[in-house]
Amino acid sequence: MARTLGAAAGEVGTALGTEPIFIVEVTWGLSGPMETYADKDFDGLPGKILTLAGLDTVQKVNARGSTGSLSMTLDDTDGSIKNILNAQDVHKGAVSVYQTYQALTASDKFLLFSGEISTPIEWSEGQREIKFDVVVKIEDREVGFSPEQGEFDFISEDAVGKAWPLCFGSVVRVPAVKITDAVRGKSLTRYSVLTVSELDQLCDLAAVVSDAENDKNIGDTQLNPITSDENYAILIEALTSSTISLNLFKENLIFANPVQETNLDDFIQVCKDIQTNTRNLLLFAAQAVAAQNIIVNLELTILNLQIQIGLEQAKNPQDIPLISSLQATLAQANSDLTDAENDKNDAELQVLSASAAIAILNTSKSALTLLLTQIDLATIIIDDGDKFPQGTPLTIVINSLKFVGTFAGNTFTITESNVPFYTNVELAIRENDNANEFWIDDVSLILKNQYCWFSTGAGNKLVLVDNQEGARCFFSPLLYKRTGVIEFGFEDRDIYDPILLSPSIGVITETGVVLRNWADVLDAQAAVPDLFNPTYASGRSNIQDNDYTIEIGDDVFLDGDYQDTYIANLIPSTEVKEVMAFRTINGVRELLPIPSRYYDVDLAESIAGQTSTTLRFRRPLSGYDGEEWEEDVFVTLVSSEGPNTADIISYLLTTYSDLSIDAASFASVAAAIDKFPSHFAILDRPDALDVVEDIAWQARCAVFTKQTTAFIKYLAAEETEVLTLTEADVENDTFILTMTETEDLVTKFVAEWTDDYSKELPNKVVLRNNIPKYGKIERTFDFFIYNIEELVIKSSTFWMIRYSNTWKIIKFNSFLTTLELEVFDTVLLSFGNDLIATSDVKGSILDSTYDSVSNQVDYRIFTSVRSGEMDTYPLTWPATAAIDVEYPTENDPFAGGASG
Amino acid sequence: MTFTGIGLVTLPNPELQNTEGLNVSVNSRQAMDSTRYTTVKSNPDRNFSYNLRIDVQKLFQLQQFVRDNAGRRFNLTDHNDVTREVYFDAIPITFTDDSFASVGSGSRNEFGEVTIQVTGA
């Protein structure tokens, strides 16, 4: 950016007899006074400048902006500066060095250099002078934001000092920063609720054992065993194996729920007793039937005998022996009948007794079942329990089940288990007529795997939500109601239709992942399952209970302290496209979208003094039982800033530095590079000027500052020259033609970039050129601003051309007539005698050093001519190269091309 | 020589090595095509340096004068009877006091040398 000379242009262009005068403005400290000095008393300014040495401005390494410095000595004979030093910390004070001419006034000055006071700063008592260095502003504030210790109560300790992602353009899967951390612990208690199905299995095993014991008892008590030794062994084996099976099953249940051991033993005994009585009932019922058969036969026999005796007495009354024989037989039959009737009565009594016993035992079994399937946990030991509020009643959540109790250290004493997770959940209008679906009003509620109990409306209804998509819940079993009657053969049969759950049904009274003591009341019109009716009906007895388990290490949360907050972007976004996290399914870890109902997005939330893009999760991801989410969240979003690189740089400088923006240069470059958008996130807190220079370099630009204004230049485009330099501008015997430094060559250019921040390794673009000439000289560059490979290749190719070739560089001393030139300025080099090339070529100022004693300016200038050539290389400035020029040119025999 | 400021001190004439700086310097250089460029450096202030041989009594007077006039301009009337407004360049002034030590057979030399540098017009 050429120096503006203003009214001094005439003097600058004068070759003879000019008298330059330096003027410096020094702001002594950040808030100190601003004083102006000259190198002699001039136009009311005190002549305090003793020396200005090494006034140089240079391009930084790899053209990443410019830097400069000088060393200044001011006279302090009058002690005025010492007085300032007594009251001010002058470090980092602003210094501007101007030049004017004796023939002009102080107001005609033009800027030569600006910077900040830097060490060494030395005030000499003997010499009564102060010396200090002045350097171009080299650092500024950190980019971004990270909360400090104790700054905000709601930010977790883990988030302190962690930079919030600062996104530009459309970024893919940026790791969001979790800033809150709910109080949580880990269960050290293992516990499982026994289910009815488990108890049914246990009871079946107990019955088998009971039968085996009975068989063995029979074998043991036979006076003349009907069983052989082999059969007896089989009885023993059957008893042994069935007992082992029972005990193993019981031990597993006791391991899951040790406090229920006694009740389990009682339950087993009850089951055995039921089996014994059932066996007895069957046995005596069979005996009663057998006795009844005997009775019937005897009664028939007796009737026949009575008839026969009557006939014989009428026909042969004298045949006394026959009649006596018949009467004796009749007496025996009557006696047998009496015995049979007694046997029958005894058997029937036994049947009644067994039936009564079974009824009593079933009552006991039901009571024990209820007892065994209840959550009877009294205490839970929780690692980090001492972090929870102590001694006050509170509700904790473990695996979606709520417990009320109090903490004393790591011990949580339960006063109530299985508290309803939600109550009075409003239903929403249905969106279809699928009988296994309903809609809820509050989409933030997570009903998946929860039982929903409707105690309102006609009769109680109980369903289990199997799945949920936002407000849409899928449940089982279906609910039916009787809607009419149909003639079925000789009978009338009821007609049942599914119940469609809607707001007219009423609210969901309670929910829970474990069945509560919900009353088993059926709607008068509800379907009762039987041979003909559907197997579904409303009522608890028709639904299976889930297995609820607390394992050691399960997370324990405070109810109501459940939300995790993530920062996706330090600044507002216009859209959040996707939120993802790693999840393990069947042992495979994958990055998967998080259901949007799990979180709320705020594109511009005021938080911690920032306006940021936030995600608030309704519960920690790890709190979704069985879903195996990890808590690192990756967000794809469109930021409110970017993607134009010049605009991004402008935003960074105006937000994180004291510099203002040169609107003209930024507008010009923004238009030139608009088709090369940047999409990236800054995930740490680099120095603002450093990161700006880096971003500019990646975009083939350079940013440099003058006083408090930042300028930008697009390096890929050829510009109109600021000056034409000829032999008249070069001091005799100072012209030197040199080349690119050997150590600056790069023949293998590796560009790392990423299109997805969830990836652990970056993508690479590898470009090679001139390896046969210079050997393999590899360097790796981080192109973090681009997530489009073509743009990485384009920018990398530009820099690879610059770095992999040896360019002609000229050095010479010049005169004050060229003071207009500054670093990065374009010049036309018009030298004869094939000094540089066979024709005029353009170059760019690399360094300029102003010697204030001799009033000469030393330049080092990059030329567009490569070593060994005498013409401009056509792709020195590719953005403005002729459209038919393609890389590699015919003069690039060793170009290795690009690979992704 | 007479220094007149806060106080007054009269000193002997300087030794022969005194110097007086110039007001104007010219820088001249030539380009490859023989174009000539010149710049001028001028300053109304000049640098003056005087070597004085003074006795102890004058030394004390001079020290007092330097202390009183540090950071101030004062009038200096030199041996040519030219009066200039000047200030001390370097403070404190270094006195070479070796010559104050005893020499020969133990007699004490009461004279010493001092260099005074001032700037002024």
User: CB-based burial of residue A65 (10 Å sphere; 0-12 exposed, 13-18 middle, 19+ buried)?
Assistant: buried
User: CB-based burial of residue A608 (10 Å sphere; 0-12 exposed, 13-18 middle, 19+ buried)?
Assistant: middle
**Chain B CB within 8 Å of residue A126 CB:** yes
Q: Is A719 strand, coil or helix?
A: coil
Rounded to 5 degrees, φ, ψ at A156 are -70, 160
Residue the block writes with tokens 């109980």: A462
pLDDT band at A535 (very low <50, low <70, confident <90, very high): very low
Closest CB from B31, B87, B91 relative to A730: B31
Identity at A42, one-letter amino acid code: F
pLDDT digits (tens, 9 = 90+) for A283-334: 899 999 999 999 999 999 999 999 998 898 888 888 888 888 988 999 999 9
How big is the A-B interface in CB pairs under 8 Å? Answer: 84
> Which of A643, A577, A599, A593 is closest to A167 using CA atoms?
A643
Q: What is the mean pLDDT of chain A?
A: 88
Contact B35 A79 (CB under 8 A): no
Do A808 and A735 touch, CB atoms closer than 8 A? Answer: no
Closest CB from A40, A127, A735 relative to B90: A127
Three-class SS string for A191-211?
Answer: EECCCHHHHHHHHHHHHHHHH
Q: Provide, as residue numbers in chain A, all residues whose Cβ is less than 8 Å from the Cβ of B34.
A: 732
Contact A125 B91 (CB under 8 A): yes
Which of A437-451, A772-786, A828-842, B45-59 is least confident?
A: B45-59
Q: Looking at residues A755-760, what average pLDDT do you find? A: 93
User: Measured in whole angstroms, how far is the alpha carbon of residue A637 from the centre of its chain?
Assistant: 13
Closest CB from A40, A126, A727 relative to B91: A126
User: CB-based burial of residue A663 (10 Å sphere; 0-12 exposed, 13-18 middle, 19+ buried)?
Assistant: exposed
pLDDT digits (tens, 9 = 90+) for A878-896: 988 888 888 888 888 877 7
Q: Is A734 strand, coil or helix?
A: coil
Percentage of residues of chain A with pLDDT beyond 90: 52
B contact test, residue of A18, A81, A100, A732 with most B CBs within 10 A: A732
B contact test, residue of A82, A815, A829 with most B CBs within 10 A: A815
Please identify among residues 88-117 of chain B the ones whose CB lies closer than 8 Å to any CB of chain A: 88-92
Do A142 and A656 touch, CB atoms closer than 8 A? Answer: yes
**A898: pLDDT strictly greater than 60:** no
ipTM above 0.85, yes or no: no
> Which of A95, A79, A88, A91 is closest to A127 using CA atoms?
A79
Q: Looking at residues A532-551, what average pLDDT do you find? A: 65
User: Beta strands A736-739 and A807-814: pairing type?
Assistant: antiparallel
Contact B92 A126 (CB under 8 A): yes
Percentage of residues of chain A with pLDDT beyond 70: 93
Q: Which helix (H) or strand (E) holds A649?
A: helix A645-656
Contact B39 A126 (CB under 8 A): no
- Measure in Å the smallest separation between the Cα of A134 and chain B Cα atoms: 24
Beta partners for residue A49, in sequence order: A74
Closest CB from B36, B71, B88 relative to A15: B36
- Measure in Å the smallest separation between the Cα of A131 and chain B Cα atoms: 15
- Measure in Å the smallest separation between the Cα of A850 and chain B Cα atoms: 14
Q: How far apart are CA A807 and CA A527, in angstroms?
A: 92
The tokens describing A390, both together, are 């102590």
Q: Which helix (H) or strand (E) holds B58?
A: helix B56-69
**Chain A CB within 8 Å of residue B74 CB:** no
Q: Provide, as residue numbers in chain A, all residues whose Cβ is less than 8 Å from the Cβ of B72.
A: 78
pLDDT digits (tens, 9 = 90+) for A73-127: 998 888 899 999 999 899 989 999 999 999 999 999 998 888 889 999 999 877 7
CB atoms within 10 A of CB B95: 17
pLDDT digits (tens, 9 = 90+) for A668-717: 999 999 999 999 999 999 999 999 999 999 999 999 888 789 999 999 99
Contact A128 B72 (CB under 8 A): no
Q: Provide, as residue numbers in chain B, all residues whose Cβ is less than 8 Å from the Cβ of A856.
A: 29
Prior bond to B92 cis, omega within 30? yes
Q: Provide, as residue numbers in chain A, all residues whose Cβ is less than 8 Å from the Cβ of B31.
A: 727-732, 815
Contact A728 B32 (CB under 8 A): yes
Q: What was the pLDDT predicted at A745?
A: 94
Q: Looking at residues A763-788, what average pLDDT do you find? A: 94
Q: Provide, as residue numbers in chain A, all residues whose Cβ is less than 8 Å from the Cβ of B36.
A: 15-16
Q: What was the pLDDT predicted at A270?
A: 93
Rounded to 5 degrees, φ, ψ at A793 are -65, -40
Cα radius of gyration (chain A) = 48
pLDDT band at A900 (very low <50, low <70, confident <90, very high): very low
Q: Which helix (H) or strand (E) holds A253?
A: helix A229-256
Pairs from A871-874 (Cβ < 8 Å, separation ≥ 24): A871/A837, A871/A838, A871/A839, A871/A841, A872/A837, A872/A841, A872/A842, A873/A801, A873/A805
**Residues in CB range of A188: below 8 A, 6 or more apart:** A381, A382, A383, A410, A552
pLDDT band at A490 (very low <50, low <70, confident <90, very high): confident
User: Measured in whole angstroms, how far is the alpha carbon of residue A512 from the centre of its chain?
Assistant: 27
Cα radius of gyration (chain B) = 19
Q: Is the pTM of this model over 0.95?
A: no
Closest CB from B36, B43, B87 relative to A16: B36
Do A142 and A51 touch, CB atoms closer than 8 A? Answer: no
Q: Looking at residues A244-254, what average pLDDT do you find? A: 89
Widest Cα–Cα separation across chain B: 71
Q: Is A278 strand, coil or helix?
A: helix
**A222: pLDDT strictly greater than 60:** yes
Prior bond to A175 cis, omega within 30? no
Residue the block writes with tokens 């330097």: B66
Q: What was the pLDDT predicted at B94?
A: 66
Which of A389-398, A410-419, A529-538, A861-870 is least confident?
A: A529-538
B contact test, residue of A16, A102, A736, A817 with most B CBs within 10 A: A16
Q: What was the pLDDT predicted at A45?
A: 92
Q: How far apart are CA A527 and CA B29, in angstroms?
A: 114
Q: Provide, as residue numbers in chain A, all residues whose Cβ is less than 8 Å from the Cβ of B117.
A: none
